[in-house]
Amino acid sequence: MNATFDTIQNLTLCIKSSLYRKEPPLLNFERLFAVVQLAHKYGVDDIVHQGIEALTECYANKDAAYDKPNKLFADLADVHAIGAVHLARLTGTPSIVPVAMLICCKIPRTVISGWKRDDGSVVRLSEADLVQWIVGRETLAKRAVSDYLKVVTCVPSTDCETPNECRERIMDAMATLKQSSYATLGESRIMMGLHTLAGAVRDKLNPRCSTCYYHVPKVEEELLEQVWKDLPGIFEC
């Protein structure tokens, strides 16, 4: 028991330093995962709260899904999202789950096999979470096609300056959709890459028609924002 609390006490210093001063030493996910589990088991609520606060700052933020640098963790990788879901369920912190599940969608094979920790143990999604992850991933893939069509069909816009040319050019964009596989579009949505898909549409537009040219980004931004709003429902968090 003493060894257990010594471990918790030592790791607490690292957590507090990273959370409150944003200075080295940065957190190690493997260590944080271990200490939160341990603290939860022995009812050390303050330590659980600190660990979950660190995870929340990361996984309740869409930046994590865009692979943007994280200032708290030195080693954060996509595979750690499996551990984040596990800790979220363990501690009753559903706000962590949507982005963590979205990141899991990027590593389907690893999600099935599980996250192998340094000690050789393997952490997997629960059966219920695995089912919801599969359903959510499929939902996002289908939505990719639907949203892409919304981007394509928003041209010519109401105030289009060159409707004939814009209409002709958008037909070329439609041809791109026909040439793209369902899986490719689905993966792009899962990677939150609607900007990339709509960018391909915009590249085909007439730059002389400022109305359509700048209308597409507004549409894609609205669609992406809606995805983020719907994410908890998609993964039933």
Determine if residue 236 is left, alpha or beta; phi over 0 gives left, psi from -120 to 50 gives alpha, anything else beta. left
Asked whether 89 and 126 are in contact (CB, 8 A), the reply is yes
| pTM, to two decimals | 0.81
Asked whether the predicted pLDDT for residue 85 surpasses 90, the reply is yes
> Which tokens belong to 169?
């050019």
22-37 pLDDT tens trace? 555 678 899 899 989 9
190-201 pLDDT tens trace? 545 555 666 667
Asked whether 173 and 204 are in contact (CB, 8 A), the reply is yes
Alpha carbons within 13 A on the beta-carbon side of 103: 26
39-80 pLDDT tens trace? 899 888 888 998 999 999 889 888 887 777 778 888 889 999
Predicted pLDDT of residue 178:
64
